[in-house]
Structure formats: structure tokens, C-alpha cells
Amino acid sequence: MTLDQLRVFVAVAERGHVTRAARDLGISQSAASAAILALESRYRTKLFDRVGRGIQPTETGRLFLREARAVLDRAGMARSVLQDLAGHGTGSVAIAASQTIATYWLPRRLAAFHAANPGVRLNAVIRNTREVESAVVEGEVNIGLVEGPTQHPALIRQQIDQDSLVLVIASDRPPPPVDTAGRLDLRAITWVIREAGSGTRRGLEDLAFREGLTLDDLNVFLELPSNEAVREAIEAGAGATIISRHVVASAIAAGKLTEIPVALPQREYALLRHRDRHATPGQKALVTYLTGGTDPT
């Protein structure tokens, strides 16, 4: 088992698609597929199942995903420490971001920051909101970026942007049922949702709460570990979901998905830092850039 194989496995699991993972890693699709096959063959286990036009981790794959991420995180931190000790560059920043932010909001901003601060090394990993909060609290990363609520008293939380949630179904499916009052009948809808701890899942939890329900009252057909996997499942007709408009805008525009009108509040994108840990100049520079030049401390 190599770090490169782990990087491919994590990328495929997070994106739910081999081709997209290979493109983002800068390798060929055949190389990505070979890395997954090598892991499955070496350990005689199946790591992925096909879902619609994408692939999703099996139960074994989901359990392995957390461990693979931890290994890659520690390898990245070790590399940063060694580079600092060798006197290279001007510092490093470890970032954990929830999926919507990491995929649709953060990349361009990190690219722009790097262009202005080439000596600061950036290491970003993708987690759900709960995992990002824990990583900042435990000191595994310097900065967290989330779209869900957080509560730990050791964290400084600062809003950096807003996001809109939408309810979508496949365009070739009938509209969701409504109750006698003309409101969506949440219990009669088949739902596809993100895993526990994700900010996206919280959108459906909040909508259900407004109706006096919990997720246990709903017909949850499928739980998936990435936004892209949820979108693929919905496009394949698996049911309905509540998800960031960023994730489904192109599919709506292409006529693959239909947005169902429902009142959903905007959610905030927030930057998290530990209030008691020292920030290096590079970390402070990134915080200032991402928050538009403001710093509550």
C-alpha cells in the first residue's frame, strides 16, 4: 500500500467518480483505476460499488476511508514540519474544508492567495463539518472552513460567505407529493442524503424539524459520502435531496434536475480557528485574505 494509492482511493471516494478524481490528481483514468484495483486485489476486498453513473464506497470502503485520510493528513503534516526544519519557504498552513466549500468556493481563492504569497505552503483536506470542527479543536489543522453549525467553545467562528440550498429531483420524475394543505409531504418523499455530520444533511434535518419531524420519520433511501455522489444518484432517479445550489446548478441548467420550490434558509460559510493556538504569519495572512481583511482577534 502506497501513499499514491491512498490519495487515489480518497479522491475517488470523495468525488464518486474515477474520471473526475484522476483529472483532479493530474493522472490518467487508467492509472487511477489501476490503483484502486491494486488495493482491492492486494487485500482481497471490494472498496467500491457502482451507483448510477458514479461509484461509491462499500461498507469496507467507508471504514477504510477514515483511516486513509488520517494517514495522508499525517504524511502532509510530517512533510511540512521537515520543510520548515530545513528552512524552506516561509511557513505552511493546514486547512480542512467541508465538501461544498472545498470543491466550489475554495480552489480559486487558494490559487489567488498562492500567487500573492508563493512562499506559504498550503495543504487542504476535505471533511464534513463535524470532522472539520474536530480537526481544528485537536490541532490537526490550523484553519477550518464549514457550512454547518459548530459549537465547541475553543473555536473562533467567522462568517466568510453565504450559500443557498435547493430541493431537487430528476427532471423525468413526477413532482413530489403534497399534503392536504398543499405543502410538501416530507414523509412521502424518497430521500437521498449525505452522511451524519455534514452541513448539507443539516438542511434536510432543519426542514424536517420545522414540520415537527426528524430524519427517522422520513423515507431515507440512500446515504452517500459526497455531494457529487448524491447528485449522480438523484440524476439517476433515486429520489429527492436538499443540496447546495453550487453542486447542482449545471445539472439544473442542462435540464437533468428540476428545482422544487420550498422555503429554505441560506446557510453561512464560516472560518474556524482555535482561540488558544499561536498563528504563524502565513496562517494570519490566509485568514485575513479569506475573511476579506477582517480579524475578530
Can you give the pLDDT at residue 152? Answer: 93
Rounded average pLDDT over 135-159: 92
Rounded average pLDDT over 21-32: 88
Domains for the chain: give ranges and CATH numbers: 1-79 (1.10.10.10), 89-163+267-297 (3.40.190.10), 165-265 (3.40.190.10)
152 contact partners, CB below 8 Å, separation of at least 6 = 133, 137
Per-residue three-class SS string for the chain: CCHHHHHHHHHHHHHCCHHHHHHHHCCCHHHHHHHHHHHHHHHCCCCEEEECCEEEECHHHHHHHHHHHHHHHHHHHHHHHHHHHCCCCCCEEEEEEEHHHHHHHHHHHHHHHHHHCCCCEEEEEEECHHHHHHHHHCCCCCEEEECCCCCCCCEEEEEEEEECEEEEEECCCCCCCECCCCCECHHHCEEEEECCCCHHHHHHHHHHHHCCCCHHHCEEEEEECCHHHHHHHHHCCCCEEEEEHHHHHHHHHCCCEEEECCCCCCEEEEEEEECCCCCCHHHHHHHHHHCCCCCCC
Question: Residue 55: what are its φ and ψ, rounded to 5°?
Answer: -130, 150
How far apart (Å, rounded) are the C-alpha atoms in residues 53 and 195?
A: 20
Rounded average pLDDT over 216-239: 94
pTM score: 0.65
Residue 81 confidence (pLDDT) above 80: no
Residue percentage of the chain with pLDDT more than 90: 50
- Report residue 82's pLDDT band, with 50, 70 and 90 as the boundaries: low
How far apart (Å, rounded) are the C-alpha atoms in residues 93 and 2?
A: 24
Q: What average pLDDT is seen over the chain?
A: 88
Rounded average pLDDT over 101-120: 91
Residue 245 confidence (pLDDT) above 60: yes
User: Residue 228: CA atoms inside 13 Å, Cβ hemisphere, count?
Assistant: 20
Can you give the pLDDT at residue 297? Answer: 46
Nearest Cα neighbor of 119 from 76, 89, 80, 88 is 89
Can you give the pLDDT at residue 85? Answer: 53
- Report residue 91's pLDDT band, with 50, 70 and 90 as the boundaries: confident
Can you give the pLDDT at residue 238? Answer: 94
Can you give the pLDDT at residue 69? Answer: 87
Residue 160 confidence (pLDDT) above 70: yes
Residue 180 in contact with residue 244, Cβ under 8 Å? no
How much is the CA Rg of the chain, to the nearest whole Å? 20
Rounded average pLDDT over 128-155: 92
Rounded average pLDDT over 247-256: 95
Can you give the pLDDT at residue 132? Answer: 94
Query: Residue 255 — left, alpha, or beta (φ > 0 → left; ψ -120 to 50 → alpha)?
Result: left
